[in-house]
């Protein structure tokens, strides 16, 4: 009988290294995913960020149950990741004490359309601006088709929906 017969073959050093590497990669991916979601919470941002007034006004508005990045990032995983990566600039400005007196934000109109055209299953009761007025409980009171066709920015009429007027432009 051969010396190793009946026993499992011992993994080579290269196989162990690959296995350990794969485990490390999986742990890093899970940690990055959890970290991105944890740092997307308004409570995290206001702990050391200058957006406390905006969060306070958001908490009393009609979008208080909508996550920040649902509006402040392009829809989808890629939009989420791009926004999270771009937040490093905000961290730099915060930690170097270079935060501008007036905070600017970039509206993501495609995020408005994603949710308010019924595509985002997370918010099934959101007003669906593609519906004819009065055709369903979640239909808007007026037709939005001219605005959609004309590529009119949602914030031209709804600029203070997410935040009160005193903080929307800060």
Q: What is the pTM of this model?
A: 0.70
Give the pLDDT confidence score for residue 4 in this predicted structure.
Answer: 60
Q: Domain tally for the chain? A: 2
Q: Decide if 1 is inside a domain.
A: no
Q: Are residues 102 and 114 in the same domain?
A: no
Rounded CA gap, 127 and 117, in Å? Answer: 8
Region 80-95: mean pLDDT is: 87
Rounded CA gap, 122 and 103, in Å? Answer: 29
Q: Are residues 64 and 114 in the same domain?
A: no
169 pLDDT band (50/70/90 cuts)? very low
Q: Are residues 33 and 100 in the same domain?
A: yes
170 pLDDT band (50/70/90 cuts)? very low
Give the pLDDT confidence score for residue 2 in this predicted structure.
Answer: 58
Give the pLDDT confidence score for residue 104 in this predicted structure.
Answer: 75
Q: Decide if 18 is inside a domain.
A: yes
Long-range pairs, 25-34, Cβ under 8 A, ≥24: none
Give the pLDDT confidence score for residue 168 in this predicted structure.
Answer: 45
DSSP assignment string, the chain:
--TTTTSPPPPPHHHHHHHHHHHHHHHHHHHHHHHHHHTTSHHHHHTTSTTHHHHHHHHTSTTTTS-HHHHHS-SHHHHHHHHHHHHHHHHHHHHTT---SS------HHHHHHHTTT--TT-TTS--TTSPTTSSTTS-SS--HHHHHTT--THHHHTTSSS-HHHHT-
Q: Are residues 102 and 22 in the same domain?
A: yes
Q: Are residues 98 and 113 in the same domain?
A: no
Q: Decide if 86 is inside a domain.
A: yes
Q: Are residues 132 and 88 in the same domain?
A: no
Give the pLDDT confidence score for residue 5 in this predicted structure.
Answer: 66
Q: Are residues 118 and 144 in the same domain?
A: yes
Q: Are residues 102 and 113 in the same domain?
A: no
Q: Residue 32 belongs to what domain range?
A: 13-106
Region 43-69: mean pLDDT is: 82
165 pLDDT band (50/70/90 cuts)? low
Q: Are residues 75 and 155 in the same domain?
A: no
Q: Decide if 3 is inside a domain.
A: no
Structure tokens that stand for 95 in this block = 């930690």
Mind listing the pLDDT tens digit for each residue in 107-160? 788 888 999 998 988 888 889 999 999 999 999 999 999 988 888 888 888 877
Q: Decide if 167 is inside a domain.
A: no
| Exposure b/e, 76-113, CB count within 10 A at least 16 = b | eeebbeebbeebeeeeeeeeeeeeeeebeeeebeebbb
Q: Decide if 78 is inside a domain.
A: yes
Q: Are residues 56 and 98 in the same domain?
A: yes
Region 37-55: mean pLDDT is: 80
**pLDDT over 50 at 38, yes or no:** yes
Rounded CA gap, 156 and 153, in Å? Answer: 6
Structure tokens that stand for 143 in this block = 């037709």
């Amino acid at each position: 009988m051969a010396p190793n017969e009946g026993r499992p073959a011992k993994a080579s050093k290269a196989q162990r290294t690959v296995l350990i590497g794969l485990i490390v990669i999986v742990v890093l991916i899970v940690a990055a995913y959890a970290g991105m979601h944890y740092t997307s919470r308004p409570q995290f941002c206001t702990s050391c960020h200058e957006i406390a007034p905006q969060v306070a006004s958001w908490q009393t508005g009609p979008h208080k149950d909508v996550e920040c990045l649902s509006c402040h990032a392009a829809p989808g995983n890629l939009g989420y990741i791009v926004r999270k990566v771009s937040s490093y600039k905000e961290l730099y400005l915060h930690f170097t004490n270079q935060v501008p007196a007036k905070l600017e934000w970039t509206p993501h109109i495609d995020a408005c359309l994603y949710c308010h055209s019924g595509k985002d299953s997370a918010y099934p009761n959101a007003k669906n601006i593609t519906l004819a007025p009065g055709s369903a409980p979640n239909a808007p009171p007026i037709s939005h088709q001219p605005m959609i066709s004309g590529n009119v920015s949602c914030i031209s009429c709804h600029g203070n929906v997410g935040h009160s007027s005193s903080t929307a432009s800060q």
